[in-house]
Structure 1
Amino acid sequence: MAGDQAQLVDAYCHGILPGDLGLGAFEAQLPGTAAPHTTLFDSPTGFAVRRWCPPLLGLEPHCAPARYLARRRELGAYEAARLLLRGTGIDAYLVDTGEPGDLTPPKELGAAGAARAYEIVRLEPLAQQVADTSGTVDGFLANLAEAVHGAALSAVGFSAVGFHGAGPEGPDGGEPGPPGAGQVRYAAAEWLARRPVGARPTDPVLLHHLLWNAVATGLPLSLRLPADGAGPRAAEGFLRATSGLGTDVVLLPGEPHEGAAADLAAALPHVYVGLGGDPAPVLGRTPFGKVLYAGGAAALPELYVTGARRFRAALDRLVERRVDAGDWSSADGHRVAALVGAANARRVYRLAEGRPDPRRSDSHADR
């Protein structure tokens, strides 16, 4: 019911690799690890790429990987990316620019996809860049505050790759609050004294300091919580402490933590869940205005295609099942699909409505 024409806003993604790729380089960007003498094209993602991407480049579905990549090289990297991204139905990209590697910036991703593109600034590399150019602890802390404030003037949000503990307790043992100035200064001095150039912070005190600096800007904060790391429950104290401060928090949980993230979103008005897989389990546990599409794709435009297809198909199945059972009206089904696919992200990140004119070279950068 959501349909191929339904708009999506991708609330968390990354840039793509700009050049042509051979078979090995392409396969290295697919998720998972292949067994010896096997290929990642024989995987769920590999099959999805072979099903949905060849028709966008003028080939038959399920064509051989070598034939597909030959067509990709024939078109050239940019033209192939343009055709693939414009076949996703994604209307806006929220691009985390903190991934290492030569990935395209938001402006180029938006131009290729004929979509608006906005930057989400990752906090850890921002601190790394400041540390690389700061000579003293006091200079680092002052420059870091200025860098966060400056980034907030052009970005639509901040992100962090994980959550490390509950942070310092608040007054009388209450919810965790920002670390004290002395704690932050000590942690910064220790880190600056031993870090190699280019290293990102890992000290929990510094990471909490970064998070609270981001909260002070009022922009939404995305917390990526990997499947094999600390789940949303580890962040619960921080989430409760930030309630009512004006900053929305979007949890990006690994699959094992989706239920816990949904429960926190249901309990706390400023907490949301962003996910790229089947939304049905989360939508069964939290209000429909709390769930965002967040594909998380990086490097290959094909992953945007397969992610959007997978999410739409799962959302369609959920809506159709509920409507057919009489649990939802058809109008309610369409409304849920619109909320989860785009409207929630537009509201949380305060995005402009409408698709840019692809004939305008600067249209993707409109705010």
Structure 2
Amino acid sequence: MIDHHCHSVTLADLDDTAFASLLTESDRLPAPGTSPLDSSLGLAFRRWCPPALGLPAHAPIADYLARRHALGPAEAARRLFAATGLSHCLVDTGLTAAAGRPLLPLSELASLSGAQVREVVRLESVAESVDAPAARWAGAVEEALRTAAASAVAFKSVLAYRHGLAVPAERPSPSEVARAAATHRSGRRLTDPVLLRQLLWNAVDLGLPIQLHTGFGDPDLTLHHADPSLLTDFIRAVEPAGTPLVLLHAYPYHRQAAWLAQAFPHVYADLGLTLSYTGPRAATVLREFLELAPFGKLLFSTDAYGLPELHTVGAAQYRHALSRTLADWQSDGACTAADAARITRLVSTENSRRLYGLG
């Protein structure tokens, strides 16, 4: 399977609190008396990860963490990745640390995981590193993105976090960009809507697929500003260029993302994060994606970050949910076994291979 959107992992020997903090999208401490493990994601983690380390499914968390510590982070990670069946990981390099610990560089992640690892360049991270006068900011960012694109398979935008997805569809004018760039300083968080929109159009011109965060995430996000349907005018504006737009995550707006993928040839929808976090309800949510999303426009990913366990959970949740769904469809006469096999190949591998030009 091709994990078309994920992050790297840490090999730090995490204590129990730091480990649990990576099983939630929140960056806050949990409420007293609660734990991120007491969740649908926690159930999925306890179902799929202990067997990878030689323990029974649903082993007590204390037993799991003791086993993980005994093996050491690197050996545990190797076993967890071996359980995923991933052939490729397309990694968003915009995040460099998890729970305060550094993430592995791509070469080390490839060695550890046994997968082919390719880079997804985060637009905002590139722009924030550019130091240029306001009049030359747009050109300097364009050149920096062009350089980054030479070794990448896609771009990624976190517009949803920085401003929200409701932005004007048209390109900003050079004078608008120069005025906005005059108040931005290199190294600072980029939040100006004009500059964020300029970044998107720079990426459109370069032609690589653009992955866009939509739907739920950490508390830095205002959820209703991340509804992918807010991008509709921008999607229409990009259509003549043909640059693919990939709507990541989407939940609880996954039906909107599915419709956009059905309506516009250059739009794709992603399953990552959603199937992991919905735990026992993953098959239900997957079926809601499949109500409208064409089978050739839906992409598997894990959106795993920090913990190799999240790669394991994401892959297992997807396999289980898709298998259950397609078995029910066959039982009901909705599709044949050959149809089910083709849908599995498309979503698991072939769509990503085609979209990102993977060998």
TM-score, with structure 2 as normaliser: 0.88
1:108 to partner: Cα distance: 2.1
Q: Which amino acid aligns with 2:9?
A: I
3-state SS, counterpart of residue 279 of structure 1: helix
Contact 1:231-1:253 within 8 A present in 2 as well: no
Counterpart of 1:246?
242
1:191 to partner: Cα distance: 1.9
Structure 1: distance between partners of 2:250 and 2:261: 15
1:100 to partner: Cα distance: 4.4
Residue of 333, 345, 349 corresponding to 1:326 = 333
Counterpart of 2:88?
92
1:332 to partner: Cα distance: 0.6
Deviates more, 1:280-289 or 1:47-56: 47-56
Once the two structures are superposed, what CA deviation does each residue of 1:123-158 show, in whole Å capped at 9, x if it has no partner? 11111111xxx2522343332111100011000000
State how 1:1-367 maps to structure 2 within 5 Å: 8-31=1-24, 34-101=30-97, 102-130=102-130, 134-163=131-160, 164=164, 166-168=166-168, 176-192=169-185, 198-227=187-216, 228=223, 229-276=225-272, 277=275, 278-352=285-359
Higher relative contact order (CA 8 A, sep 6+): 1
Q: Which amino acid aligns with 2:204?
A: V
Q: Judging changes above 3 Å, is the alpha-carbon distance between structure 1 residues 166 and 26 closer, same or farther for their aligned structure 2 residues?
A: closer
3-state SS, counterpart of residue 53 of structure 1: helix
Structure 2: distance between partners of 1:78 and 1:315: 30
3-state SS, counterpart of residue 272 of structure 1: strand
Deviates more, 1:323-332 or 1:28-37: 28-37
Q: Judging changes above 3 Å, is the alpha-carbon distance between structure 1 residues 282 and 165 closer, same or farther for their aligned structure 2 residues?
A: closer
1:49 to partner: Cα distance: 1.9
- The two structures, once aligned, show a CA RMSD in angstroms of 1.7
Q: Which of structures 1 and 2 has the bigger CA Rg?
A: 1
Indicate the percent of aligned positions where both proteins have the same amino acid: 43
Q: Judging changes above 3 Å, is the alpha-carbon distance between structure 1 residues 32 and 234 closer, same or farther for their aligned structure 2 residues?
A: closer
Q: Judging changes above 3 Å, is the alpha-carbon distance between structure 1 residues 256 and 49 closer, same or farther for their aligned structure 2 residues?
A: closer
Q: Which structure 1 segments of 5+ residues have no match?
A: 1-7, 169-175, 353-367
Structure 2: distance between partners of 1:322 and 1:58: 34
Counterpart of 2:282?
none
1:75 to partner: Cα distance: 1.5
Q: Which amino acid aligns with 1:325?
A: D
3-state SS, counterpart of residue 156 of structure 1: strand
TM-score, with structure 1 as normaliser: 0.86
Once the two structures are superposed, what CA deviation does each residue of 1:20-52 show, in whole Å capped at 9, x if it has no partner? 111111011111664412332222222222222
Q: Which amino acid aligns with 2:55?
A: L
Contact 2:250-2:257 within 8 A present in 1 as well: no
Counterpart of 2:279?
none
Q: Judging changes above 3 Å, is the alpha-carbon distance between structure 1 residues 256 and 156 closer, same or farther for their aligned structure 2 residues?
A: same
Q: How many residues align?
A: 331
Q: Which amino acid aligns with 1:153?
A: A
Q: Judging changes above 3 Å, is the alpha-carbon distance between structure 1 residues 220 and 54 closer, same or farther for their aligned structure 2 residues?
A: same
Once the two structures are superposed, what CA deviation does each residue of 1:39-92 show, in whole Å capped at 9, x if it has no partner? 322222222222221221122322222222222122221111111011111111
Contact 2:159-2:165 within 8 A present in 1 as well: no
